[in-house]
Amino acid sequence: MHEAKSVGILLGMHIPSSRKSKKAAAVIGIDNQAAIKAFTLDLRSPGHHLIREALHIARKISKEKKKGGKGKDVITIRWTAGHEGIKGNELVDREAKEAAKGRTSDMKLLPHYLRKPVLINSSAVKKAHNEHLAKEWREDWRNSKQGKVTALIDESTPLSKFLKTMSNPKLSRAAASAAAQLRLTHFPLNSYLKRIGRVDNTRCPACREDEEDITHYLLRCQNYTHERWLLTQHTARKCKPLTLKTILGDPQFILPLAAYIHATGRFTRTSECNANQNSNTVQ
């Protein structure tokens, strides 16, 4: 968009420069402030080559006007709010649409600088490439098995809203990691650990139920009824149901979730047991 506006300014300056008489003043209206501010920069960026050419034309016109004894500026660039109220705006819009269809002016009528292919802005190319990759990644994630599962909990996972929730300054690094793993369904409960071959069965070590998955751990395990009471009270105050989507998908429940994980001591005990087993083996 910035380059398109710069081309427009260059074309606008070409009109008075191509006249035999340079006495008439010209006003160029543009609704892009970034393009106007570019004239005050050092113009070292690769994307500023069009502005440099526009300044070259403006200086050329100024010199010719001074030779004629006229010191007043012949070109003025003004910011306008979407070209509102400017005479000829509809004509400009029609011409822009024609150009978008590939119907351009005769090459001989264009400024010399625009008669050859315009230089490629490497920054714009990189930005477009990164946006394309991000779009592809989002589509691949949403169509994946895990993406479909996590979308039922939180459609923002793992995009900006998800990352912002995980970056809560009141969360410790360990708590943020645990909450993120829960949302991504890669939490070290026995149902997941059995799937990756780390344990022999999926049984819950707390209540001995057959399957310890995320739903069981957060909502059903009888051994964590007392710890779950705080979650229940918090959802009740917010008039929310006690569901996975509420606990994992709503950013305002991230701190109560972290408190619940800490209160159950499920993973602390696991770590301690593993440490004790390793210690006994060494002895």
Per residue in 7-48, pLDDT (tens digit) is: 778 787 777 777 665 556 777 777 778 777 877 777 767 667
* pLDDT band at 86; cut points 50, 70, 90: low
Q: Does domain 2-120 sit in CATH 3.30.160? A: no
Higher pLDDT, 13 or 194: 194
pLDDT in tens, 96-111: 677 666 676 677 777 7
Question: What percentage of residues in the chain have a pLDDT greater than 70?
Answer: 79
Domain boundaries, the chain: 2-120, 154-282
Q: Is 80 exceeded by the pLDDT of residue 168?
A: yes
Say what the pLDDT of residue 61 is.
76
From the CB of residue 35, how many other CB atoms can be counted at a distance below 10 Å?
23
Please say whether the beta carbons of 246 and 240 come within 8 A. yes
With b for 16 or more beta-carbon neighbours within 10 A and e for fewer, the 230-265 pattern comes to ebeebbeeeeeeeebebbbbbeebbebbbebbbebe
From the CB of residue 199, how many other CB atoms can be counted at a distance below 10 Å?
17
Q: Radius of gyration of the chain from Cα atoms?
A: 32
Helix (H, G, I), strand (E, B) or coil at 61: helix
Instruction: Give the mean model confidence (pLDDT) for residues 256-269.
Output: 87
Please say whether the beta carbons of 113 and 75 come within 8 A. no
Say what the pLDDT of residue 199 is.
93
Residue with tokens 């160029």: 28
* pLDDT band at 63; cut points 50, 70, 90: confident
CA 274 to chain centre: 42
